[in-house]
């Protein structure tokens, strides 16, 4: 029976998490910059994050990179909707009813 050490696996997993977090932290830090690079699932990011993106892609399996990109986009979209909700409060402007002119028969 083989004895496997979990230590190398834990270090490998930790390196993936660090690479992922570094990339998304970079996105948050330079969020005011114009995105020029295209990632998976339509995620755009500025060129300042190119190095951390390359490390993230190198460390993680492509399916996980896609998963985390989708998750990040979804969380950003929800946060944007929650932030916009405050601006949208106030009286509702309902559409005005149409006035129909009687037609002559």
Instruction: Give how many domains the chain has, as a whole number.
Output: 1
Asked if residue 98 belongs to a domain, the reply is no
Q: In angstroms, rounded to a whole number, what is the distance separating the alpha carbons of residues 49 and 29?
A: 10
Asked if residue 5 belongs to a domain, the reply is no
Asked if residue 94 belongs to a domain, the reply is no
64-103 pLDDT per residue, tens: 999 999 999 888 888 888 877 666 555 555 555 556 566 6
Asked if residue 61 belongs to a domain, the reply is yes
Give pTM, 2 decimals: 0.67
Asked if residue 6 belongs to a domain, the reply is no
**Is the CA virtual torsion 57, 61, 64, 70 positive or negative?**
positive
3-62 pLDDT per residue, tens: 566 667 778 788 899 999 999 999 889 888 887 777 777 788 888 999 999 999 999 999
């Amino acid at each position: 029976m083989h004895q496997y050490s979990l230590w190398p696996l834990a270090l490998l997993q930790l390196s993936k998490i660090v690479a992922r977090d570094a990339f998304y932290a970079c996105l948050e830090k330079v969020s005011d910059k114009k995105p020029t690079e295209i990632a998976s699932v339509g995620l755009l990011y500025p060129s300042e994050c190119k190095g951390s993106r390359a490390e993230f892609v190198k460390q993680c399996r492509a399916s996980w990179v896609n998963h985390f990109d989708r998750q990040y986009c979804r969380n950003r979209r929800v946060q944007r909707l929650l932030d916009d909700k405050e601006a949208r409060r106030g009286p509702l402007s309902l559409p005005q009813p149409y006035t129909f002119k009687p037609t002559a028969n």
